């Protein structure tokens, strides 16, 4: 019997036993509901993780959830995620109903205890628990390690001819797709080019290399990407594996200028941070935001960013431009059209569809389309006068995750794609040595004239891969996981620190972290918690701390002072808060561009009532926040005390908020009390697109005034008479437009009309 089936049987037995035999007892009911609920949540997490990775709960899931999701193309996952949440609510409701079916019976301790033991056993035997347990254990394993004997630091410079480099990361484009027997005609164009170069056919995927940023780290630094569980620490750092010497570092030190071009947002999963930490200058990084002003058609894009035909055209333009300048360069790019769950079909590919078993398959179609664009780029480089001085690398970033082709891929012997085309030595070769993507960077470095090793990677041309040296390299990588995590050099103590307001960093013990930042500090341990556009605000993360946890929080004053320092509640400056949630935390405003402080966490006498109050304040929804002010300040979350509710208004930004017709066709602000019989409406706002200098109706009761706004924010005063004592202000932008302004990439674009900075009601004498 499989462990999965056994866990389900134990779970159902526990539920039925308690429901039929245990009787009435609120405490036991709560305990059984919690344990059975944990079983459900674990398996739901496993189900959701499988939906994305096809490999359950692994490091890819943990890293992605704890790092920046900014720029993620998540719209295709909204419906499945909504369905999962609805399903969970229904299951919990059903569980509660079943467990209380026979609550009229007297309680039986023995049956309750047996039901609890069975419920705990169901958790212990479920594969989800085992996967989580293995992840935690792999990060905390102690004892002797031979990691240092195999981890090698390359020289920072290289000698030799040093040709230019074009490195193409092909999203999820594993070598399995190139099997002509399994998938005939799928990759004709790129497959032909692969056969003309050095084809490394046995590139395995190791733990910590199975998602895009991890694949990039593996190929350039020769190590897997393992980030600690303690907080979202990797996302908070302002550097990425700061002490490692990676391919980009060596290229830069050897006179190369490094470039990176992709269609998606650079910030997703901390990709920009990794590149800037290892040899790439920020002005040479191009993602969705940077390409917007360069591409011919800025609106031609998918949920992740720009299509591969657009991006690879930009790559060739950059290649041509740099080659003509006769400069030494390394040009990296990453495609996106083959991203799971089913990819994207660009408009310029000649073959837009691929059928299997008599049906068109979207993922295969995206593969056959994207590989045409990659092949076209390579052909153009080969036909150029600069090819002889160029090395072209084509590599999958990782094996395909759970896409619509997944069931066909898993029937094959799956390997990553990695082949090299040399302009100076255009000979074909099939290299079948056992290797991994950790070896990619070292192999490229060897060809360019450098060492034949980087980290755990070895050149497949002149060295021996650790995948060949060890019988089971996957087990060895898991054994080395704590050693690899230590390469992040996370500090364990917090004493003196520096806050740099200009650069937005918090520094202590030799490490730099991005602001805003929340730290949980305990003896011998400092856990950083960052905030991203997709992650929970820091106050929600702080609300999950235990009563006695010591914290230090650096953020905009209004985010924390509303709770603990009311006189700073409207300040947009930077503040520092520290203490414990079961007491009164301290809040201070940061004065000056550079603040040097000392962490002095004194013992406090905790108070359970204060703890509950602080948690309740921290968890208030943004739109439910109310602050003391005589005007609606739109860059703050919430609204002034005088406002009862509002609608049609988007999220706060640094300058204010946009109206968003996707939320409501008009901006509506309802005040708690009737507005004055006569008043001036003083509004600071701007308009966008066709709403600029166009009459915008503003109404209170039966009185309608017209607002005229420029493209830049201006202040306008409108006079209203309100004899009906209406309490609602309505602003109706005449023509909301779909706009990319301030959008979160991967989300549906908003329909914007006006941007509001401030609204104030000033009573006047009736005329």
Same domain? 726 vs 752: yes
Q: Quick one: 335 and 455 in the same domain?
A: yes
User: Cβ neighbours of residue 571 under 8 Å, at least 6 residues apart?
Assistant: 556, 557, 558, 561, 589
HEC-encoded secondary structure of 687-715: ECHHHCCCCEEEEECCEEEEECCCCCCEE
Same domain, 336 and 402: yes
Closest-CA residue to 270 (of 501, 71, 506): 71
Cα torsion for 491, 492, 496, 500, to the nearest 10°? Answer: 40
Q: Is the pLDDT of residue 68 over 50?
A: no
Parent domain of 737: 626-763
Is the residue at 461 inside a domain? yes
3-state helix, strand, coil in the chain (%, to 5): 35, 25, 40
Position 112 pLDDT exceeds 90: no
Asked whether the predicted pLDDT for residue 364 surpasses 90, the reply is yes
Nearest CA to 474 out of 206, 158, 690 is that of 206
| pLDDT above 70: percentage of residues in the chain | 85
In a domain, 369, yes or no: no
**pLDDT value at position 485?**
86
Does position 231 have pLDDT exceeding 50, yes or no? no
Confidence class for position 75, pLDDT limits 50, 70, 90: low
- Mean pLDDT (the chain, rounded): 87
Residue ranges in 164-270 assigned as alpha helix (H): 188-196, 212-221, 233-236, 247-253
- 741 pLDDT more than 80: no
> Does 526 fall in a domain?
yes
> Are 401 and 460 members of one domain?
yes
Q: Is residue 661 part of a domain?
A: yes
Among 216, 148, 68, 247, smallest CA distance to 482 is for 148
Q: Residue-wise over 215-239: b if at least 16 C-beta within 10 A, else e?
A: bbbbbbbbbbbbbbebbbbbbbbbb
- Summarize pLDDT for 696-740 with one digit per residue, the tens: 999 999 999 999 999 999 999 999 999 999 999 999 999 999 887
Report residue 117's pLDDT band, with 50, 70 and 90 as the boundaries: confident
What integer pLDDT is reported at residue 497 of this predicted model?
95
Instruction: Kindly report whether the peptide bond that precedes residue 338 is cis, defined as omega within 30 degrees of 0.
Output: no
Same domain for 303 and 409, yes or no, is: yes
CA distance 574 to 589: 6
Question: Residue 69: pLDDT above 50?
Answer: no
| Position 25 pLDDT exceeds 70 | no
Residue 431 shares a structural domain with residue 517 = no
Percent of the chain with pLDDT over 90: 64
Do 411 and 518 fall into the same domain? Answer: no
Does residue 353 lie within any of the structural domains?
no
Q: How far apart are CA 368 and CA 505, in angstroms?
A: 44
Residue 762: pLDDT above 50? yes
Q: 184 and 406 in contact (C-beta within 8 Å)?
A: no
Pick the residue with more confidence: 285 or 61?
285
pLDDT at 243 over 80: yes
My answer on whether 609 and 538 are in the same domain is yes
Amino acid 70: pLDDT: 45
For residues 466 and 515, state if they share a domain: no
Environment class of residue 266 by beta-carbon count within 10 Å: exposed (0-12), middle (13-18) or buried (19+)?
Answer: buried
CATH code at 658?
Answer: 2.60.120.430
> Does pTM top 0.85 for this prediction?
no
The residue-averaged pLDDT of 599-608 equals: 85
Concatenating the DSSP letter of every residue in 478-524 gives: HHTHHHHHHTT------SEEEEETTTTEEEETTEEEESSEEEEEETT
Mapped onto helix, strand or coil, the DSSP state of residue 62 is helix
Domain boundary (589, 620, 651) is at 620
Minimum mean pLDDT among 636-640, 657-661, 678-682, 744-748: which range? 744-748
Range in 77-86, 166-175, 248-257, 326-335 the model is least confident about: 77-86
**Per-residue confidence at 17, pLDDT binned at 50, 70, 90?**
low
Last residue of a domain, one of 620, 650, 675: 620
pLDDT given at position 556: 95
Is 557 in the same domain as 424? no
Residue 234 has pLDDT above 50, yes or no: no
pLDDT of the residue at 389: 96
Query: Span 54-74, mean pLDDT?
Result: 51
pLDDT score at 28 = 72
pLDDT at position 49 over 90: no
Counted domains in the chain: 4
Cα separation, 755 vs 638, in Å, equals 16
Checking if the pLDDT of 260 tops 60, the result is yes
Per-residue H/E/C for 475-489: HHHHHCHHHHHHCCC
Residue 126 domain-assigned? yes
Q: Residue ranges of the alpha helices (H) in 650-689?
A: none
pLDDT for 52 equals: 57
Q: Are residues 634 and 687 in the same domain?
A: yes
Measured between alpha carbons, how far is 353 from 362 in angstroms, rounded to an integer? 7
pLDDT category of residue 478 using cuts at 50, 70 and 90: confident
**Range with the poorest average pLDDT among 200-204, 440-444, 468-472, 637-641:** 468-472
Strand, helix or coil for residue 390: strand
Determine the pLDDT at residue 719: 97
Look at residue 71 and tell me whether its pLDDT is greater than 50. no
pLDDT tens digits along 488-516: 878 888 999 999 999 899 999 878 888 99
Does residue 554 carry a pLDDT above 80? yes
Last residue of a domain, one of 439, 459, 486: 486
Q: Is the pLDDT of residue 72 over 60?
A: no
Better pLDDT: 139 or 165: 165
DSSP H or E stretch at residue 198: strand 198-200
**86 pLDDT exceeds 80?**
no
Whether 349 maps to a domain, the answer reads no
Report the half-sphere exposure of 682 (CA within 13 A, side-chain side). 9
DSSP letters, 97-162, are HHHTTTTTSPP-HHHHHHHHHHHHHHHHHSHHHHHHHHHHHHHH--S---HHHH-BPPPS---S--
300, part of any domain = yes
User: Please, what's the largest Cα pairwise distance for the chain?
Assistant: 92
Considering the domain architecture, whether residues 612 and 644 belong to the same structural domain is answered as no
Least confident residue range of 1-5, 357-361, 528-532, 612-616: 1-5
| pLDDT bracket for residue 96 (50, 70, 90) | low
């Amino acid at each position: 019997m499989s462990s999965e089936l056994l866990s389900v049987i134990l779970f159902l037995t526990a539920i039925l036993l308690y429901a039929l035999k245990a009787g009435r007892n609120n405490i036991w009911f709560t305990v059984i509901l919690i344990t059975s609920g944990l079983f459900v949540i674990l398996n739901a997490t496993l189900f959701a993780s499988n939906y994305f990775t096809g490999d359950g709960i692994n490091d890819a899931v943990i890293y992605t959830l704890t790092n920046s999701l900014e720029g993620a193309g998540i719209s295709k996952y909204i419906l499945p995620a909504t369905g999962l949440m609805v399903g969970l609510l229904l299951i919990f409701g059903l569980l509660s109903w079943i467990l209380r079916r026979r609550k009229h019976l007297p309680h039986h301790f023995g049956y309750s205890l047996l039901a609890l033991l069975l419920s705990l056993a169901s958790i212990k035997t479920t594969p989800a628990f085992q996967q989580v347990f293995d992840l935690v254990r792999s990060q905390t394993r102690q004892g002797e390690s031979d990691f240092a004997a195999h981890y090698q630091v390359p020289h920072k410079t290289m000698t030799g001819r040093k040709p230019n480099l074009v490195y193409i990361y092909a999203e999820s484009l594993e070598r399995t797709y190139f099997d002509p027997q399994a998938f005939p005609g799928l990759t004709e164009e790129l497959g032909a080019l692969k056969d003309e170069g050095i084809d490394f056919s046995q590139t395995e995927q190791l733990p910590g290399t199975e998602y895009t940023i991890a694949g990039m780290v593996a190929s350039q630094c020769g190590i897997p990407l393992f980030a600690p569980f303690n907080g979202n620490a990797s996302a908070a750092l302002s550097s990425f594996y700061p002490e490692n010497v990676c391919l980009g570092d060596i290229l830069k030190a050897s006179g190369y200028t490094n470039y990176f071009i992709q269609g998606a947002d650079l910030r997703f999963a901390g990709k920009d941070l990794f590149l800037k930490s290892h040899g790439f200058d920020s002005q040479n990084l191009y993602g969705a935001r940077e390409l917007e002003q360069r591409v011919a058609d800025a609106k031609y894009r998918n949920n992740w960013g720009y299509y591969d035909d657009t991006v690879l055209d930009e790559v060739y333009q950059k290649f041509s431009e740099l080659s003509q300048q006769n400069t030494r360069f390394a040009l990296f790019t990453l495609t996106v059209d083959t991203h799971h769950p089913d990819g994207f079909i660009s408009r310029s590919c000649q073959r837009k569809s691929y059928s299997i078993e008599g049906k068109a398959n979207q993922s295969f179609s995206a593969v056959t389309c994207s590989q045409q664009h990659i092949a076209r780029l390579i052909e153009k480089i080969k036909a150029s006068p600069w090819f002889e001085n160029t090395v072209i690398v084509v590599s999958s970033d990782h094996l395909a995750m759970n896409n619509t082709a997944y069931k066909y891929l898993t029937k094959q012997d799956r390997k990553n794609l990695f082949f090299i085309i040399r302009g100076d030595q255009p000979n074909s070769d099939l290299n079948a040595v056992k290797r991994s993507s950790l070896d990619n960077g070292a192999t490229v470095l060897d060809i360019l004239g450098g060492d034949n090793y980087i980290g755990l990677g070895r050149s497949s041309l002149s060295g021996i891969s650790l995948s060949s040296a060890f019988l089971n390299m996957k087990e060895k990588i898991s054994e080395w996981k704590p050693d690899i995590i230590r390469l992040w050099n996370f500090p364990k103590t917090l004493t003196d620190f520096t806050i740099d307001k200009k650069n937005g960093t918090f520094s202590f013990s030799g490490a730099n972290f991005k602001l805003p930042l929340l730290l949980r500090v305990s003896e011998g341990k400092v856990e950083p918690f960052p905030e991203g556009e997709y992650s929970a605000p820091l106050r929600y993360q702080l609300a999950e701390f235990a009563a006695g946890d010591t914290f230090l929080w650096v953020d905009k004053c209004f985010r924390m002072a509303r709770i603990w320092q009311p006189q700073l509640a409207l300040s947009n400056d930077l503040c520092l808060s520290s203490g414990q949630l079961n007491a009164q935390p301290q809040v201070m405003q940061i004065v000056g561009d550079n603040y040097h402080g000392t962490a002095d966490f004194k013992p406090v006498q905790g108070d359970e009532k204060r703890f509950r109050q602080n948690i309740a304040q921290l968890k208030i929804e943004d739109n439910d926040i109310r602050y003391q002010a005589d005007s609606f300040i739109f860059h703050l979350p919430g609204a002034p005390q005088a406002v009862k509710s509002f609608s049609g208004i988007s999220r706060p930004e640094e300058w204010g908020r946009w109206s968003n017709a996707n939320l409501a066709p008009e901006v509506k602000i309802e005040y708690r009390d009737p507005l004055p019989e006569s008043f001036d409406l003083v509004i600071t706002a701007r308009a966008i697109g066709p709403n600029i200098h166009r009459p915008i109706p503003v109404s209170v009761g039966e009185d309608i005034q017209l607002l005229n706004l420029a493209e830049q924010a201006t202040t306008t005063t409108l006079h209203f008479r309100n004899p009906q004592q209406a309490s609602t202000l309505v602003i109706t932008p005449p023509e909301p437009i779909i706009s990319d302004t301030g959008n979160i990439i991967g989300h549906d674009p908003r329909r914007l009309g006006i941007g509001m900075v401030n609204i104030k009601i000033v009573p006047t004498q009736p005329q």
